[in-house]
Amino acid sequence: MGIKTSILLAALAFSHLILLFAGFFAPCDPTTQDRELPYAPPTHLRFRDASGFHLRPFVYAWTSSSAGEQSDDYQENYREDRSREFPLQFCVRGASYKVLGVFKTDVHLFGTTEPGKLSLLGTDSYGRDEFSRLLFGGQISVAAGIAATAIALLVGSIFGLIAGYYGGWTDESLMGVTELFLSLPWLYFLLGVRAFLPLHLSTVRTFFLLTGVIGLIGWARPARLVRGLVLSLRHRNYVLSARGFGGSDFYIVRRHILPEIAGVLLTQASLLIPRYIAAEVTLSFFGLGVNEPAPTWGNMLSTLQQYSVLVSYGWLLAPAAALVVTSVLYSSLADAIHRG
């Protein structure tokens, strides 16, 4: 494993670890609303006040203008109340959450005391903390991409192995189905399939429906790739020797075929995960994915369909930036694995 691959794996592992323990790293509950602070800009961490420099950073509370004085310029709607400082604190008590969906706790990595509020990426139209929603939303979006990729690779590997190993009419039949799936415009087909499913479902059921639909639509390309590799591998001398010595099909596939295609499947996983994350984001963006109040990167971006919001509140683009960074990391990892 090269240095570049190790660095990319470490970066992905670190980012996914943060998402996995989003409750600990997020200072607020992602569903808690503060209607007095809609579209509040990101909180400024301060080190200096009128008395001088401080080693511990602090924040000021935002105060909003009255409803009649609201302006399209957020800088005119909010100002810092400098009458009181709120130091940044670590390992603070806050909103309760579950670690890995099992253990309940209320400890957060950082935060501040009320009425101070630490909003590193500002707030949305309901006054909900954008940074906390970004982390919790990443849990669903990234998990959907990984789960859908696992389904696609599992189904594709089974079809590809059977088609490539046995050949003949089995190969022709399965590859015919594969070509049919490859010819479909998967994005529009995905939107059409999801539109026929019930919209008002729980977050968990919607998640499994999304991952199942995305994964079952995307199995064709991995199947075709695996089939081509298996067609080549089944004529190798060591495979022919194993068959000549009475090795069963299961033994040959497990001992000689699967280890050879593992690297290709890993590369395919690195390419498919960001694609399927984008698929979940697209569905949620159009209101066909996980619904509010549960955050995903897609439904967080849906507010940007309003042009006035898009041009006025740039911090709401944070989920798009997270999606781009995640896609670049996975694509770079796929390239590094392929070159290695």
200-237 per-position pLDDT tens digit: 777 888 888 888 888 888 888 899 999 989 888 887 88
Question: Which residues face 110 on adjacent strands?
Answer: 90
Asked whether residue 71 carries a pLDDT value surpassing 60, the answer given is no
pLDDT band at 68 (very low <50, low <70, confident <90, very high): very low
Residues 153 and 100 in one domain: no
Q: Pseudo-torsion of CA 138, 144, 145, 151, nearest 10°?
A: 160
pLDDT band at 66 (very low <50, low <70, confident <90, very high): low
- Asked, for residue 128, whether it belongs to a domain, the answer is no
Count of other CB atoms within 10 angstroms of residue 217: 20
Picking from 276, 270, 272, the residue whose alpha carbon sits closest to that of residue 338 is 270
Segment 229-252 shows an average pLDDT of: 82
Strands (E), the chain: 46-49, 52-64, 78-87, 89-99, 103-111
Lookup: tokens for 149: 């990729």
Picking from 132, 22, 311, the residue whose alpha carbon sits closest to that of residue 303 is 311
For residue 263, what are the CA distances in angstroms to 39, 226, 232? 46, 11, 16
Task: Give residue 1's pLDDT.
Answer: 61
- Asked, for residue 323, whether it belongs to a domain, the answer is yes
Which residue is listed with tokens 């706790």? 105
Residues 160 and 83 in one domain: no
- Asked, for residue 73, whether it belongs to a domain, the answer is yes
pLDDT band at 147 (very low <50, low <70, confident <90, very high): very high
Whether residue 115 has a cis bond before it, omega within 30° of 0: yes
Picking from 245, 64, 23, 269, the residue whose alpha carbon sits closest to that of residue 150 is 269
Task: Give residue 34's pLDDT.
Answer: 87
Task: Give residue 48's pLDDT.
Answer: 87
In the chain, the number of structural domains is 2
Asked whether residue 196 carries a pLDDT value surpassing 80, the answer given is no
Count of other CB atoms within 10 angstroms of residue 309: 14
Residues 102 and 139 in one domain: no
pLDDT: is 51 or 145 the higher one?
145
Asked whether residue 65 carries a pLDDT value surpassing 70, the answer given is no
Lookup: tokens for 252: 């040959």
- Asked, for residue 279, whether it belongs to a domain, the answer is yes
Task: Give residue 67's pLDDT.
Answer: 45
Lookup: tokens for 6: 């190790």
CA distance 248 to 12: 39
Which structural domain, as residue segments, surrounds residue 187? 135-339
Q: Dihedrals φ, ψ of 49, to 5°?
A: -130, -165
Task: Give residue 194's pLDDT.
Answer: 66
Segment 93-118 shows an average pLDDT of: 87
- Asked, for residue 288, whether it belongs to a domain, the answer is yes
Residues 103 and 216 in one domain: no
Query: Radius of gyration of the chain from Cα atoms?
Result: 25
Task: Give residue 239's pLDDT.
Answer: 79
Picking from 218, 216, 204, the residue whose alpha carbon sits closest to that of residue 140 is 204
* Helix, strand or coil, per DSSP, at residue 62: strand
Lookup: tokens for 220: 């064709």
Residues 107 and 144 in one domain: no
Which percentage of the chain shows pLDDT scores above 90? 32
Asked whether residue 74 carries a pLDDT value surpassing 60, the answer given is no
* pTM of the entire predicted model: 0.88
The pLDDT tens digits for 4-16 are: 888 888 999 999 9
